[in-house]
Chain A
């Protein structure tokens, strides 16, 4: 019974006629988070304030790549999520190094992308042909991929190509080259979502798969393409990470939840239908800076895990009330506070 009381004011018309304040971008909150964590780091370790940011810019691009793929999948609508990205990254790192040793670093990275796509094909077959829900399909894929990773790990004794290593670590005017390239990729994805048929179709499917189908969109093709792109991005990230860190069976493990968290923190709706490509950057920078801060303060991995989990839950809970996409986040926050007050009144009265 109390559920009606709390959900009714959300849709009630009395909230709609309000003055239009400054329009707040969906990634605004995560930008505030980035600045706050940065400020904290500077407080903890004064001197060279741009060092932590430069450091974060070397690690964040990989997370941004994975998050962009995850964002496309999540935008497809409720239930769509790819939990295989972590294991795909680990597998791709071995593929990149093994093929790179035999046929050059470019071929290695391309092979890593191919391996990511191959894993995604497995998920897509399960989702579209076997009609297995995406979360189970991608979990099963990640089991298969982790076996492949173990087999590759047994066979491979190579290390990353020196040229690729130099490329991943290259800097232009203090900014990592890889960050600039991933920024370009982000812009391409953002433009694609706004202006191309494919991008708009993803958003349409996320808002209502049935309506999209009636409008003549091939929902199965869009779904397949989104998952394939997600696998390709994860494979690319793994292939590059092989040179930046080194191949390992647990290289990608943390990327699974991190990518989902980054997407959610960045302002993309977890229920689908709204993608915020810029949010991948603010979310990723926030996460990388945060773990830098926690390492600086000396938190254990366990405590970091707890904080990450709580953070994801908190962001999802807070943003859940914010499904009115057109309105500013500030207005939404004020609404939720009002609702909370109203609820208090009703429970006390």
Chain B
């Protein structure tokens, strides 16, 4: 372990592989769960094993993966965003109304959302306010805005957005492409770029980052802005699939994204950003939803099943951690 780090400042792929083999791949549990759920789904519905079958199955996971990457960035600085589901709903509302009718105003609003997130990051850093309460309060502002713009679900997305949702290559399932792109973006931002290591430093040891001469406020604001951009993308992709706007369309994303990050090996205390794990976690949770509907579970029981599965997987992670240590 120490020799790997001493050998070079940045351990190579082989070194990383060795380290993760010794310490256990953090997202291993999620990977196992993913394989199991996929296996059950295939047994239930063999038609899944085709490009169109996989497209249908993975489609709902695409916005969730982007949202999970956003949540991962926020959690890497030690915060939690509880407004993510409401905000994605608002983005679908904007996409289905203003973006089609007056594109300038629509894009202006989306940029304003990113600006608000920058402000939230600044407030959390400067005033020491818990991010949970601030984002919970903001979620009501998002819902209120969404209800003002579009009181009942409806509207129509602009043509270019619908075209993105309709894109179906023959050789690979389209959702898989989006999922890989989201993971690459998250991986670059959190693991490759300098700002990514600064964000993780802020989460794990803020005084050290400050002594190194970096601005804490600047780092947190950057994390929030990058997350906001990913949230907007997630909302646009969700709108491209549903082709309409609904403020409540993503209300379960808040819990799902947090669970996805934790499932993928992340922590609540910050300092850790695992983009591949977050993606695996998000896809697992998305597939659970699909599986529950494949098994024709009564719709009133689905949210309970989701809650129980999330708790079970989180419990499983703690048990496996206890065994590996």
Contact = CB atoms under 8 A, between A and B. Distances in A.
Interface stretch (A147-155, A160-168, A198-206): A147-155
B137 A151 contact: no
Interface in A290-345: 300-313, 316-317, 320-321, 323
Contact of B304 (A81, A126, A139, A143): A143
Contacts of A133: 268
B69 to A, nearest CB: 19
A302 B147 contact: yes
Interface stretch (A1-9, A14-22, A59-67, A176-184): A1-9
Q: How large is the interface on A (under 10, 10 to 19, 20 to 34, 35 or more residues)?
A: 35 or more
A144 interface: yes
A78 interface: yes
B210 interface: yes
A135 B83 CA distance: 13
A3 B126 contact: yes
A130 interface: yes
A92 interface: no
B302 to A, nearest CB: 7
A146 B303 contact: yes
A142 B128 CA distance: 28
A309 B140 contact: yes
A4 B145 contact: no
B113 interface: no
B31 interface: no
B313 to A, nearest CB: 10
Interface string B207-239: 000100101110000000000000000000000
Given A130-B315, A141-B307, A143-B255, A264 B133 contact: yes
Given A135-B80, A135-B82, A304-B144, A151 B301 contact: yes
A336 to B, nearest CB: 10
Contacts of B305: 147
Nearest to B315: A130
B148 A312 contact: no
B164 interface: no
Contact of A140 (B133, B215, B310): B310
B137 A316 contact: yes
B137 A130 contact: no
A260 B140 contact: no
Interface string B66-97: 00000000000000101000000000000000
A132 interface: yes
Nearest to B213: A1
Interface string B136-149: 11111111111110
A253 to B, nearest CB: 11
A306 B145 CA distance: 7
Contact of A147 (B254, B259, B262, B300): B300
A313 B134 contact: yes
A120 interface: no
A294 B301 CA distance: 37
A2 B217 contact: yes
B206 to A, nearest CB: 9
How many B residues touch the partner, as a band?
A: 35 or more
A94 to B, nearest CB: 13
Interface string B270-309: 0000000000000000000000000000011111111110
Contacts of A78: 130
Contact of A143 (B82, B258, B306): B306
B133 A300 contact: no
Nearest to A314: B137
A5 B306 CA distance: 46
Contacts of B148: 300, 302-303, 306
B151 interface: yes
A45 B43 CA distance: 67
A257 to B, nearest CB: 6
Contacts of B144: 301-309
Q: Which of A133, A148, A307, A309 has the most CB of B within 10 A?
A: A309
A157 interface: no
A258 B307 CA distance: 23
A195 interface: no
Contacts of A3: 125-126, 210, 215-217
B100 interface: no
Contacts of B134: 313, 316-317
A183 B144 CA distance: 32
Contacts of B146: 302
B137 A257 contact: yes
Contacts of A148: 304
B22 interface: no
Contact of B215 (A1, A305, A309): A1
A260 to B, nearest CB: 7
Nearest to A154: B300
Nearest to B132: A135
Contacts of A7: 128
Contacts of B127: 317, 320-321
A214 interface: no
Contacts of B254: 139
A147 B307 CA distance: 10
B5 interface: no
Nearest to B252: A143
16 contacts: A3-B217, A81-B132, A132-B314, A136-B262, A147-B301, A147-B302, A147-B303, A257-B137, A302-B145, A307-B144, A308-B140, A308-B144, A310-B137, A316-B130, A317-B127, A317-B129
Given A139-B255, A142-B307, A146-B303, 8 more contacts: A81-B132, A136-B314, A143-B252, A143-B255, A144-B304, A147-B307, A261-B137, A320-B127
Interface of B: 80, 82, 123, 125-130, 132-134, 136-148, 151, 210, 213, 215-217, 252, 254-255, 258-259, 262, 268, 299-308, 310-311, 314-315, 318
Interface of A: 1-4, 6-7, 78-79, 81, 126, 130-133, 135-137, 139-144, 146-148, 150-151, 154, 257, 260-261, 264, 270-271, 300-313, 316-317, 320-321, 323
